[in-house]
Amino acid sequence: MTRMIVLLLGVALAVGSTHGAALDSEPNQIGSCYDSHTNCDEFASYCSDPGWLDHMTKYCAKTCGLCDGGGGTGGGGSTDGDCNADISSNIPQGSCGAPSTSPMQSSYIVGGKEATPHSLPWQISVQTPSGFHFCGGILISANIVITAAHCVKRGDNIYVKAGAHSKSSSSDGQRYKVQEIIQHNEYNKPRSLNNDIAILKIGGSGIRLDSTAMPACLPPACHEWALDTEFIVSGWGTLYFGGSSPDKLMQVTVPIVEHGKCARQNSFSASWKRVVCAGLDRGGKDSCQGDSGGPLVAKYNGRWTLAGVVSYGKGCAMANYPGVYTHVSHYIEWINQNI
């Protein structure tokens, strides 16, 4: 059945391009925002299929949100192929995103500053049994921590440290053994580092929540961050590529980078909406090695909300190479299904 639909889609679009019979205008140019094919609604599920990217960009740019300059932002409330906006999170978060000490909002991990202790209480350090920090994580409920898929694999013997400012001090924060690791089932598909997200489950009553350990809120499913969004990214990662890493938690404020531009800069397909990018054109502020798996947050309805998971980038803080973050709003359904 699926094969038949694929074949039909091919024929329908090919007929459209050859004879113009099914077209109500000229084929679309990348950058203009309309559908030139009449049946794009029917074919919306192909918007996120890399094999159909060229066809969909040409004929169904509007439906697929493949327009330059804004087709992919500011929306919400619709289904965009890889994301169902009609669902809401069923994760019991309690109080989230409202630290008792507010984080600094105009500060600068590369190009950053030491955070005010416990002002980013959702920050987790993911550690080996001996206490070596190797990745960040994000507390989203007492029993659930989100991290990057590239940080972990099923069966690893790992710990999370919550409520810490110092990654090493045993008198700062609480350490818990991870009971179960769920890597995204499509991690590294269709391309390396795609779907770079994992769930770490903490057993029993989970992490003791207090003013030092509090979840970040989850965004509405499929939420797109406005083009004037300023994020905070935090972690104990290196202070420059190949550099040393600090013992105290660092943070930096970084602006969003428009999706199409980031796709060109980092050589991924603009149809891949499951990442969000942040950084400065001139570089200088970024996440770096050891920050992976950690939080990219922004305020949403007055609460600090998880926008991204530190995933990758070319080096750190280089001009025109923004950091690339797993776009959490596109994984709400996956999170629901895996907790």
Beta-sheet strands, E only, within the chain: 113-114, 123-127, 133-141, 144-147, 159-162, 174-183, 198-202, 230-235, 250-257, 275-278, 295-300, 303-312, 323-327
- SS3 (DSSP) at 246: coil
Q: Would residue 150 show up in a list of annotated catalytic residues for this protein?
A: yes
- Compute the least distance from the CB of residue 287 to ligand 4AZ, in Å: 4
Which residues of the chain form contacts with ligand 4AZ (CB under 6 A)? Answer: 286-289, 291-292, 310, 312-313, 316, 323
* Structure tokens, 271: 């149809």
Q: Which of 35, 68, 80, 196 is catalytic?
A: 196
Rounded least distance, CB 291 to ligand 4AZ, Å = 5
Which of 186, 214, 218 is closest to 327 using CA atoms?
218
Residue 69 or 243 having the CB closest to ligand 4AZ: 243
Residue 246 or 313: the one with the smaller Cβ distance to ligand 4AZ is: 313
Rounded least distance, CB 320 to ligand 4AZ, Å: 12
CB of 196: closest distance to ligand 4AZ in angstroms?
10
Our CB check for ligand 4AZ shows the closer of 93 and 147 to be: 147
Q: Which is nearer to ligand 4AZ, 280 or 339 (CB)?
A: 280
To the nearest whole angstrom, how small is the minimum distance from the Cβ of residue 97 to ligand 4AZ? 23
Residues 119, 234, 287, 292: which is the catalytic one? 292
- What distance in Å separates the CA atoms of residue 139 and residue 133, rounded to the nearest whole number? 16
Judged on CB neighbours under 10 Å (0-12, 13-18, 19+), 113 is middle
225: which residues sit within 8 A by CB, 6+ positions away? Answer: 73, 231, 256, 276, 298, 307
Six-digit token string for 182: 């769920």
Beta-bridge mates of residue 329:
none
Q: Check if 271 is active-site.
A: no
| 80: annotated active-site residue | no
DSSP string, 189-215: -SSTTTT--EEEEE-TT-SPPBTTB-P
Cite the active site residues: 150, 196, 292
